[in-house]
Amino acid sequence: MKTPEDARREQFDRAETVRHLPGLSAAELPFHGHRRIREHLMRETTMDTRPACSRSRRPLALFLAAGATTCAVVLAVTLGVPTSDEPPVAAPPDPAAVRLLDRAALAAQAVRAPAVRDGQFLYTRTIGHSTMLSEIEGGSMEAGRTDESAERWVSVDGSTGTWVRTARGMTTDPARGTDKASINGPTYRFLEALPTDPDQLLEVIYEDARLNHGDGSQSTTGPDQQAFVAIGDLLRTMEAPPGVSAALYRAAARIPGVILIPEATDAAGRDGVAIARVHEGERTEWIFDEHNLRLLGERTVLLKDSTWGKAGTPVTSVAIVARGVTDNAGRPPRP
């Protein structure tokens, strides 16, 4: 299922390509939404002198993604970018980030596992927004916010699917059952069966990431970024068993390019500390309460001015505000 961020990226890909190729319309693009230019930028600098802070910088790297040969050549000439398809090598995980993730793992292990049974639902309520581009008079693009606040009921055993209520109404995903659950469509029973050894768990996650975002997939995300995103989705979507949550944090600490951000604010206005990864000029952040290391939410921040907004703008931001177990989809847990 395409997420709002996937749709936003695809829309941006086309807008940027058309902007650099006068006379070409979006409808004429033969690329099927794949990004033509990939910008990898890491320019994180510590904001204070606390020991937990780190300094990790990356030079700007521009190169062309897979696409039609003619337009790829035009883009290379027009923008002066190399045609090499070799991706930049990500830096090793930031030691400060590794330490914070280990603390988060210890905190997760200390949480009592929710008492669940088949037929029940894991409930999560989030508030937040995403950013979408719309065409305005004159053909230029304008960024605007879309409310992404939601309530989600995920079937414990997958027998009745997932229910999601947003401002646009109630939607349901098909029942998967235990056998059809996956990293990208988990149930609580699926999460229970995952390895709690971080290395083994990371290999399970990378197996899926390489299959759908590795060589030959035409994905611009890449396995490392997809592994980071997949872990974030698992942690945010539902409350996993404590041992699995701890293993997910420790697995994330092994992903190249993971860094620590000393200060971050979630969509609910709560301040915290973040674990992040930079990809294509954007920084994906998992925000934690600095005291108890509870996951507060996630956001994606622009690192440079673009059509989407000014540098430092959160183009997506989602905060977790409630969790629990309930017997009925469509109803929050009792207080």
pLDDT digits (tens, 9 = 90+) for 205-218: 999 999 989 888 87
Mean pLDDT on 270-291:
97
Q: Is the pLDDT of residue 194 over 50?
A: yes
pLDDT at 76: 32
How many CA atoms are closer than 13 Å to the CA of 75, on its beta-carbon side? 27
Residues 6+ apart with CB under 8 A from 161: 155, 172, 173, 174, 175, 176
d(CA 101, CA 159): 33
pLDDT digits (tens, 9 = 90+) for 34-68: 333 333 333 333 333 333 333 232 232 222 233 33
Q: What is the DSSP string of 166-205?
A: ETTEEEEEPP-HHHH-BTTB--HHHHHTS-SSHHHHHHHH
Task: Give me the phi and psi of 107, to 5 degrees please.
Answer: -65, -40
pLDDT at 267: 97
Query: Which among 196, 198, 192, 195 is positioned nearest to 178, based on CA atoms?
Result: 192
| Residue 4 binned pLDDT confidence (cut-offs 50, 70, 90) | low
| Residue 275 binned pLDDT confidence (cut-offs 50, 70, 90) | very high
Q: What is the pTM of this model?
A: 0.73
> Which of 72-81, 134-143, 144-153 is the most confident on average?
144-153
pLDDT at 53: 33
Query: Which among 159, 155, 156 is positioned nearest to 116, based on CA atoms?
Result: 156
Please give the residue that has the higher pLDDT: either 271 or 12: 271
Task: Give me the phi and psi of 212, to 5 degrees please.
Answer: -100, -15
3-state secondary structure of 230: helix
pLDDT digits (tens, 9 = 90+) for 67-84: 333 333 333 333 333 334
Amino acid at 256: P
Poorest-pLDDT segment among 78-92, 233-247, 319-333: 78-92
Q: Are strands 295-302 and 282-288 parallel, antiparallel or unpaired?
A: antiparallel
